[in-house]
C-alpha cells in the first residue's frame, strides 16, 4: 500500500495498523435496521436542527456525483444525501446509514480521523487506509456543541479524481454555520455577543452569557479567542474576559448595541474587538449586575416548563376548542391524553397545563418513551438502588416518576412504550408507589400524568400492542390538536413566528412576499408548526432586506410544492359572470349580448374562448 506523505495522515495510518484494521471486519460494522432506528431516535433532536442545512447541501450536490454525510462521535453514519447515482455506487463500500466509519473500524478516513484529531481534514484516494476506499475523496470538519464538546462530523464525499482543495474549506465553513445555529437557537435564556477584530475580517466569534453575565457557551472561534473550556463555562463572568462589558449588556432592546471592547491580558492593537448583541432572549426585566455571584454551574437540559397558555397562539376554532378544554382540565388533577401529529405542539400544551395547575410550583418532568432504548427505559422511569447493575451509581438514582413527586410527569410518545413497561406503569397508577430496580422498599409518589401520542392509541389497543387497561387509566381528558394544514390561521401564525424571529436575530422587520404567503397557505406542512418555524428561520436568514420570498424557503419544501395558478382577479370574475348571465338570457346570441353589455362582439368571443379553455 502506498502510504500518505503527510505526517498528519501517517500518524493515522500507524493507529490503523495498531488497531488491526482490515476489510473483512470493516464490512460487518453495520447496525441492523431495528438497531439503527433505535440509535437514530436518540439523536433526533440534533438531526432535526441540522435538517435544513443537510437538505441545502444535498440539493447543491445532487448533480455533482457527490454526497453529504453526518456522522456521530462513534463514527456511525446518521444521514447521507446527495447524488442518487453516487449513493447507489457507494453502497458496496458501506457508505450508508448505520455503517460505522470510525478510524478503529475502517482505518484512515476523513470522518473517523476527524473524530480523533478534532480538526478539519481531507483524505483523498490512496490516502485512505483500506484499498476499497481509494475511489473516494472525503473532506470533513468537526461540529462542536456550545460547550466545546465534539457533537458530530460533517463530511463531503465523491470520486477522488473530482476533489478540489476548496471542498475542505467549504465543509468547514458549513460545519461552523451549524455550530453558530446550535448556539443561537438553544432554549436557554441568554445574550449572544458577536465579536470581530477591527483590523481584519474573520469568521465572527460568538459568546453566550446568562442573565448573571456568566459565560455559558461559545462557537469555535470564541472558544479559541477567550480560551473557553469546561473550567470557564458556567463559572466565569464575561467581565473577567472582556473590559467594559456591563453597558453593552445593560442597554435596552432596540438601542444601538455595539461597542469596542478589549480582551484582557493581551496588549496590542489586535486586542481591540468590535462587539455587538446578536441575540437577547432574557426576560425584559432581566439586567445583569457586575456584582452578580456565580452560585453554581448551569444544569444542561433544564426540565422546567417553559411555556404557558399566554405563549400559545391560535385563531382557528378547532384549535381554540382544544386549548379551552386544556385550560379546563388544567385546574383539575385528571390524567390528560394529548393527541396530534408530530409538531402540533403537544409538548408545549403539556407545559401550559402544568403552569396553569395547582402543581405549577412543583417539578415538570418529561420523558420521551420512544427515544430511550428499551433496556434503559425501566431505570429512567423507576430509578435504581446502588449496585443494582454494572455501572450503577454508588448512591443509586431516583427515576423520573420520583423526580416528578407532587408535580407533573409528561410521557411523550406513550404508544412506543414496550408492553412489559406498560405493566409496570399500570401498577404505579393503581397504588401510586414506585420500587426502584434492585430495591425492595416501595416509595409513595404523588404525580399528575399527561401523555402524548401522534398515533391512534385505541387502534394500538385493538392491534394488541398497547394494553387496554392502561389505556383506560390514561384516557382521562382526551385533547386532540389539529394539524397545521387544517388550521385557518396559518398565515397569522407565520407572521407571529416571524415577529419572534426578529427578536431572536435582533434585526429589522421581516415580511412575507405574496408568493411566500401563498406557499404558507397551500403547502401541507407535514411537520406542522415545528416545520413552519424552522422553515421561516431559514428563510429569514437567507432573505435580503427582510423580505422573505419563496426562493428563501428550504429546497426540500420547494421541490414538493406546486405553486397554484394565479387566481383570477375579483373584477375579472365579476365581468365573466355578467357575460355568462347575459349569454344565457339571449340564448347564446353573441351580437345581442354585446349590444346589451355595450362591448364589442370580438370581446365577447374572446371571453367565451377564455372561459371555455382549450378544446
Cell of 235: 463559572
CA angle 248, 250, 256 (to 5 degrees): 50
CA dist 209 and 189 (Å) reads 9
The predicted-structure confidence for 32-74, as pLDDT tens digits, reads as follows 888 888 888 888 888 888 887 787 788 777 767 889 999 999 9
The pLDDT-based confidence of 352 (bands split at 50, 70, 90) is very high
3-state secondary structure of 268: coil
148 to 113, 116, 217: CA distances (angstroms): 18, 15, 8
386 to 284, 375, 428, 434, 436: CA distances (angstroms): 45, 18, 22, 16, 10
Q: pTM for this one?
A: 0.49
Name the helix (H) or strand (E) containing 408.
strand 408-412
Mean pLDDT value of segment 356-384: 85
CB 326 within 8 A of CB 308: no
CA dist 447 and 356 (Å) reads 15
pLDDT score recorded for residue 411: 94
pLDDT score recorded for residue 584: 66
211: how many CB neighbours lie within 10 A of its CB?
A: 19
Task: Return the CATH class of domain 7-179.
Answer: alpha beta
The pLDDT-based confidence of 615 (bands split at 50, 70, 90) is very low
- Domains 7-179 and 191-280 agree in fold: yes
Q: What CATH number labels 570-612?
A: 1.10.10
pLDDT score recorded for residue 564: 63
Q: Of the CATH numbers 3.30.930.10, 3.40.50.720, 3.40.50.300, 1.10.760.10, which one belongs to the domain with range 309-480?
A: 3.40.50.300
The predicted-structure confidence for 189-235, as pLDDT tens digits, reads as follows 788 888 877 544 456 788 998 878 889 999 988 888 888 887 788 88
- Taking the domains of the chain in order of start, what are their residue ranges? 7-179, 191-280, 309-480, 485-558, 570-612
- Which of 198-207, 245-254, 390-399, 460-469 has maximum average pLDDT? 460-469
Sheet holding 121-124, edge to edge: 77-82, 66-71, 150-159, 136-144, 121-124
pLDDT score recorded for residue 263: 58
| Fold adopted by 191-280 | Beta-Lactamase (3.30.450)
Residue range 485-558 in CATH 1.10.8.60: yes
The predicted-structure confidence for 549-591, as pLDDT tens digits, reads as follows 898 898 889 888 876 654 444 455 556 667 776 776 676 677 7
Name the helix (H) or strand (E) containing 614.
none
Mean pLDDT value of segment 345-364: 92
Amino acid at each position: 500500500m502506498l502510504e500518505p506523505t503527510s505526517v498528519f495522515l501517517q500518524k493515522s495510518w500507524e493507529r490503523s495498523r495498531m488497531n488491526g484494521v482490515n476489510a473483512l471486519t470493516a464490512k460487518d460494522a453495520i447496525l441492523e435496521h431495528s438497531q439503527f432506528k433505535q440509535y437514530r431516535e436518540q439523536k433526533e433532536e440534533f438531526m432535526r436542527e441540522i435538517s435544513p442545512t443537510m437538505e441545502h447541501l444535498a440539493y447543491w450536490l445532487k448533480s455533482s456525483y457527490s454526497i453529504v454525510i453526518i456522522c456521530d462521535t462513534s463514527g456511525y453514519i446518521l444521514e447521507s444525501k446527495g447524488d442518487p447515482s453516487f449513493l447507489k455506487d457507494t453502497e458496496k463500500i458501506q457508505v450508508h446509514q448505520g455503517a460505522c466509519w470510525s478510524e478503529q473500524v475502517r482505518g484512515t478516513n476523513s470522518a473517523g480521523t476527524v473524530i480523533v484529531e478534532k480538526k478539519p481534514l481531507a483524505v483523498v484516494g490512496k490516502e485512505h487506509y483500506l484499498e476499497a476506499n481509494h475511489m473516494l475523496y472525503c473532506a470533513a470538519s468537526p461540529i462542536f456543541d456550545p460547550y466545546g464538546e465534539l457533537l458530530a462530523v460533517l463530511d463531503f464525499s465523491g470520486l477522488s479524481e473530482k476533489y478540489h482543495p476548496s471542498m475542505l474549506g467549504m465543509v468547514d465553513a458549513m460545519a461552523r454555520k451549524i455550530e453558530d445555529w446550535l448556539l443561537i437557537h438553544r432554549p436557554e435564556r441568554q445574550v449572544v455577543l458577536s465579536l470581530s477584530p477591527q483590523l481584519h475580517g474573520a469568521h465572527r466569534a460568538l459568546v453566550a452569557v446568562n442573565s448573571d453575565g456568566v459565560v455559558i457557551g461559545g462557537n469555535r472561534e470564541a472558544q479559541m479567542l477567550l480560551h473557553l473550556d469546561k473550567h470557564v463555562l458556567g463559572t466565569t463572568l464575561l467581565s473577567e474576559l472582556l473590559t467594559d462589558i456591563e453597558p453593552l449588556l445593560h442597554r435596552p432592546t432596540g438601542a444601538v448595541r455595539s461597542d469596542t471592547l478589549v480582551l484582557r491580558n493581551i496588549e496590542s492593537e489586535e486586542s481591540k474587538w468590535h462587539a455587538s448583541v446578536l441575540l437577547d432572549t432574557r426576560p425584559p426585566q432581566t439586567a445583569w449586575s457586575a456584582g452578580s455571584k456565580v452560585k453554581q454551574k448551569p444544569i444542561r437540559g433544564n426540565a422546567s416548563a417553559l411555556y404557558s397558555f399566554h405563549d400559545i397562539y391560535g385563531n382557528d376554532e378547532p384549535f381554540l376548542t382544544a386549548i379551552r378544554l386544556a385550560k379546563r382540565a388544567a385546574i383539575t388533577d385528571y390524567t390528560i391524553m394529548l393527541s396530534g401529529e408530530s409538531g402540533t405542539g403537544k409538548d408545549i400544551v403539556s407545559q401550559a397545563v402544568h403552569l396553569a395547575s395547582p402543581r405549577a410550583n412543583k417539578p415538570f418532568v418529561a420523558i420521551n418513551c420512544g427515544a430511550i432504548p428499551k433496556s434503559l427505559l425501566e431505570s429512567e422511569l423507576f430509578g435504581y438502588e446502588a449496585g443494582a447493575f454494572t455501572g450503577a451509581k454508588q448512591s443509586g438514582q431516583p427515576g423520573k416518576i420520583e423526580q416528578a413527586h407532587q408535580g407533573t410527569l409528561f410521557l411523550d410518545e406513550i404508544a412506543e412504550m414496550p408492553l412489559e413497561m406498560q405493566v409496570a406503569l399500570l401498577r404505579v397508577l393503581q397504588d401510586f408507589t414506585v420500587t426502584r430496580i434492585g430495591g425492595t422498599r416501595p416509595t409513595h409518589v404523588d404525580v399528575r400524568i399527561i401523555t402524548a401520542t401522534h398515533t391512534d392509541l385505541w387502534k394500538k389497543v385493538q392491534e394488541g400492542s398497547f394494553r387496554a387497561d392502561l389505556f383506560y387509566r390514561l384516557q382521562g381528558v382526551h385533547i386532540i390538536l389539529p394539524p397545521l394544514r387544517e388550521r385557518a390561521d396559518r398565515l397569522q401564525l407565520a407572521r407571529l413566528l416571524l415577529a419572534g424571529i426578529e427578536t431572536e436575530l435582533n434585526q429589522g422587520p421581516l415580511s412575507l412576499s405574496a408568493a411566500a404567503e401563498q406557499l404558507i397557505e397551500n403547502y401541507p406542512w407535514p411537520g406542522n408548526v415545528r416545520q413552519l418555524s424552522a422553515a421561516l428561520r431559514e428563510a429569514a436568514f437567507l432573505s435580503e432586506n427582510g423580505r422573505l420570498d419563496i426562493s428563501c424557503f428550504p429546497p426540500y419544501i420547494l421541490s414538493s410544492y406546486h405553486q397554484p395558478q394565479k387566481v383570477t382577479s375579483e373584477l375579472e370574475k365579476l365581468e365573466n359572470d355578467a357575460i355568462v348571465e347575459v349569454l344565457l338570457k339571449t340564448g347564446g346570441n353573441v351580437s345581442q349580448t354585446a349590444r346589451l353589455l355595450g362591448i364589442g362582439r370580438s370581446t365577447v368571443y374572446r371571453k367565451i374562448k377564455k372561459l371555455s379553455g382549450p378544446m
